[in-house]
Amino acid sequence: MPAERLKMRRVREILRHRFEGGLGHKSIAARVGAAPSTVRETLRRLERAGLSWPLGDDVSDAVLEAALYKAAGTKTGHRRSAEPDWGHFHRELKRKHVTLQILWDEYIGLHPDGYRYSRYCDLYRGWALKLPVTMRQDHAAGEKLFVDYAGDTVTVVIDRLSGKTRQAHLFVAVLGASSLSFAHARWSETLPDWIECHLLALEAFGGAPALLVPDNAKVAVIKACHFDPQVNRTYAGMAAHYGSAVLPTRPRRPRDKAKVEAAVRIVERWLLGRLRHRVFYSLADVNAAIVELLTDLNDRRVLRRVGRTRRQLFEELDHPALRPLPVERYVFAEWKIRRAGLDYHVDIDKHYYSVPYRFAREQVEARITANTIEIFYKGERIAAHRRSSGNGKHTTTPEHMPSSHRRFADWTIERISREASAIGSDVALLCERIWPIGRIPSKVTGPAWALSVSSKRLSARGSMRPAVGHWKSALEPMDRCALSGEMRN
């Protein structure tokens, strides 16, 4: 079958994991949610296109897509191979000392043109997933961090006089290998709180795992899917900042998240059960109590099956395998899809930011932080502004305007006053009387601009030269008439 065409953002993730992380095809496939064959074909196309990692700043998504797919030539076909008897192989695997390698050797001996070993293993695992069995999950050190919210909340008294209360939501994170747990209370389960809880968890662990495994909540996954879930872009960007990837659990597969579900139950019993009689007056009080109880859970409570605490297992297994945290903390950035208007401005939180005028009416993506606004078109940044409050005003970069708009924008009240004074005192006085006519600058400057321009001649450079001779002698009497009220139109 033809090779799957990936979005360019996922292609860049494949290249980053391959050339910066040194991961194999299967590991990359698990992280980006694609087939190993698709990962392999993507890397082949990169090599055939003559591109290398890191990609240059001039390689936009459109350029990358054209290089990988339009210039890739013919598509690879699908070779039909002898289909193994998966039921027989599954029964044979239950025998002692029998492995997939042994079974494949026997299979390829009978069918020399059969599946290669990696494809054979992938097909078997896909077949085995259809069986109604429960597999015990063994998690590699530093590989996965399971995250979720507890179902129950904590009551906080926010007004002692009236007794008004508010519910705090409990975020839970647990490492796969050591089961070291982290919890933090927030007022909501919105995206900013979700991201902040992740940052606090990573800082508490002192490193980042290879994978973040959330549930399919809307805050994490925009569109749930067994094979290609659409992860929230802000969430994916945060994970990439720490060298991690997001691997959501499959929808309606609770066994995929057994680790975090068990951790949530433990946290609910260990924390909420012990806090049920306490009265909290702030979120800080709740989190202080959580830290105290988590210390008992992680550092003092011994796991019977291994005879060690979670902290001891963490120091031996997870901590050495975690990625070091970057020097700079992740800055929360929200992505929004917008369409530039006819005036080449984009509406973001009731404030308007300019883009180059050639992108008017185009759909763009806005990356929004607390201080900056960045606007992208097909993966290429086309504008950057300092963020302003939503006051309905415009922030415009002169370079984004067409030349005709820039020339008109140059005619401010101050410039018109200067030009009018250069002609004569009557012209200047008339312009000053025109200003109060309207409150909107364009309505005010329009008549005065026309009056001033009528008394000027354009030079070759586009600037205005004072009129001489009959221009000046003809204009000043008209101005005096207008000032005396003899001219109404």
pLDDT at 267: 74
**Residues sharing a CB contact under 8 Å with residue 104, sequence separation 6 or more, in sequence order:** 117, 120, 121
Per the CB < 8 A criterion, the answer to whether 320 and 348 are in contact is no
The residue among 206 and 9 whose pLDDT is bigger is 206
Task: With cut-offs at 50, 70 and 90, classify the pLDDT of residue 76.
Answer: very low
Q: Which two tokens stand for residue 316?
A: 């031996």
User: What is the spatial distance between Cα 46 and Cα 206, in angstroms, rounded to a whole number?
Assistant: 35
Q: Which two tokens stand for residue 181?
A: 């747990």
User: What is the spatial distance between Cα 3 and Cα 77, in angstroms, rounded to a whole number?
Assistant: 8
Average pLDDT over residues 145-149: 89
pLDDT at 134: 43
Task: With cut-offs at 50, 70 and 90, classify the pLDDT of residue 167.
Answer: very high
Average pLDDT over residues 19-30: 83
- State percent of the chain over pLDDT 70: 74
Task: With cut-offs at 50, 70 and 90, classify the pLDDT of residue 356.
Answer: very high
Q: Is 168 exposed, middle or buried (0-12, 13-18, 19+ CB in 10 A)?
A: buried
How many other CB atoms are there within 10 angstroms of residue 47's CB atom?
9
pLDDT of 154 over the 80 cut: yes
pLDDT of 348 over the 70 cut: yes
Average pLDDT over residues 365-375: 88
Maximum alpha-carbon separation in the chain = 113
pLDDT at 434: 66
What number of CA atoms fall less than 13 Å from residue 408's CA on the CB side? 9
Task: With cut-offs at 50, 70 and 90, classify the pLDDT of residue 489.
Answer: very low
pTM to 2 decimal places? 0.57
pLDDT at 195: 93
Per the CB < 8 A criterion, the answer to whether 375 and 346 are in contact is yes
The residue among 97 and 64 whose pLDDT is bigger is 64
User: What is the spatial distance between Cα 227 and Cα 38, in angstroms, rounded to a whole number?
Assistant: 13
Per the CB < 8 A criterion, the answer to whether 186 and 196 are in contact is yes
pLDDT at 227: 61
Pick the most confident of 132-136, 361-365, 459-463: 361-365
pLDDT at 18: 83
Per the CB < 8 A criterion, the answer to whether 61 and 8 are in contact is yes
Average of per-residue pLDDT values in the chain: 77
pLDDT at 161: 87
pLDDT of 211 over the 70 cut: yes
pLDDT tens, position by position, 187-199: 999 999 999 999 9
pLDDT at 431: 67
The residue among 64 and 246 whose pLDDT is bigger is 246
The residue among 372 and 390 whose pLDDT is bigger is 372
Task: With cut-offs at 50, 70 and 90, classify the pLDDT of residue 244.
Answer: very high
How many other CB atoms are there within 10 angstroms of residue 231's CB atom?
20
Q: Which two tokens stand for residue 17?
A: 């994991």
pLDDT at 105: 84
User: What is the spatial distance between Cα 256 and Cα 149, in angstroms, rounded to a whole number?
Assistant: 16
pLDDT of 77 over the 70 cut: no
Average pLDDT over residues 55-84: 66
pLDDT at 113: 79
Average pLDDT over residues 464-484: 52
